[in-house]
Amino acid sequence: MSTDEINQSEDVSLENDAAIEAFFAPSSQTRIAEDFKSGYVAIVGRPNVGKSTLMNHLLGQKLSITSRKPQTTRHRIHGILSNHEMQAVFVDTPGIHRNEVRAINERMNKAAVSALVDVDLVLFVVDSDQWRDDDLLTLQKLGETDLTVVLVINKADTLKDKGTLLPLIETFHESFDFADIVPVSALKNQNLDRLQEVIASHLPVASPIYDTEQITDRSERFLASEIIREKIMRSAGDEVPYDLTVQIDEFKDEPAHTDAKTGRPRKACTFIDATIYVERSGQKAIVIGDKGQRIKQVGMDARKDMEQLFDKKIMLTLWVKVKRGWSDDERALTSLGY
């Protein structure tokens, strides 16, 4: 094979590699199309309708925590999807719900509604076979804006009679002036390519907002606290529903080095100390579990997810403390990042 043929072969290989990288993890060198589009896309809906799952699967990366519990998401989280045609900055929001008596619920609703300010597009996520009062509440909030709204009918794969989907879409068309209606299954990655096309069609022509390598604007400290909270919510079931939060006390990166005492090489590692706050002593016992087994398992599961997300070794230490009334204390909520 001649030198020119070898160079041609290498060029083709490099082009294929670049295309793969641009799809899965676009670099800052990704060629930007002249009609490149970018913008903010708010994902809204009632609690436990699949908003976080949808964002995670659109990104191909788990950023927002999920569980079967309503109101799992408490904060606005930006997830950034970039390719050579567009950059969509998704804003995952707490579920909009009727106000409860606690201050944390009021703050969650405010965070969700405030996400509608200065976005270019809204994805209104509903369950394919469950329409509730909180769905109507969300729709009312959207009706007070002049935003472009795409209806995303999630869990469409669970419909027992597939023939009901078209009448369902027609019913939604009559209820609100949606720019598009897209049925999907976020969990099974069904029709998400179509949803991405619809999103791109409604974004303005503009330069990327973030570096195309970036997948979120949240810090590793924040993501670590959310991962720990998810593992507790999944492990403790209904025993500790919402009366817990997690605070990162220390997040220390230690580079690779030689141990001064043993002379042995030590790999790079991040040491994380976190405190889990609950409201009652009985809840503390539940989180710790019999002979500390639950908190041990929570730590193992959280560390595994962190190492996968952060791509580095993690040493995690967890503490459980009682902080009475934190979820209804404005000062405590502020200090804990709400």
Q: Which residues are annotated binding-site positions for GTP?
A: 45-52, 92-96, 154-157
Q: Which residue has the tokens 């290989």?
A: 13
Task: Spell out the residues 6+ positions from residue 184 whose beta carbon is closer than 8 angstroms to its own.
Answer: 54, 152, 153, 154, 156, 190, 191, 192, 194, 195
What is the C-alpha separation between 180 and 135, in angstroms, rounded?
18
What is the C-alpha separation between 219 and 230, in angstroms, rounded?
17
Contact 284, 278 (CB under 8 A): yes
What is the C-alpha separation between 267 and 142, in angstroms, rounded?
51
Structural tokens at position 43: 């994902």
Structural tokens at position 19: 């295309």
Contact 86, 37 (CB under 8 A): yes
Using alpha carbons, select from 95, 97, 94, 86 the residue that is nearest to residue 120. 86
Q: Could you tell me which residues are annotated as the binding site?
A: 45-52, 92-96, 154-157
First-residue to last-residue Cα distance in the chain = 64
- Give the chain's radius of gyration (CA, Å): 23
Strands 269-278 and 244-254: antiparallel
Contact 37, 204 (CB under 8 A): yes
Measured at the alpha carbon of residue 267, what is the angle toward residues 258 and 26, in degrees to the nearest 5? 135
What is the C-alpha separation between 41 and 250, in angstroms, rounded?
33
What is the C-alpha separation between 327 and 332, in angstroms, rounded?
8
Contact 52, 66 (CB under 8 A): yes
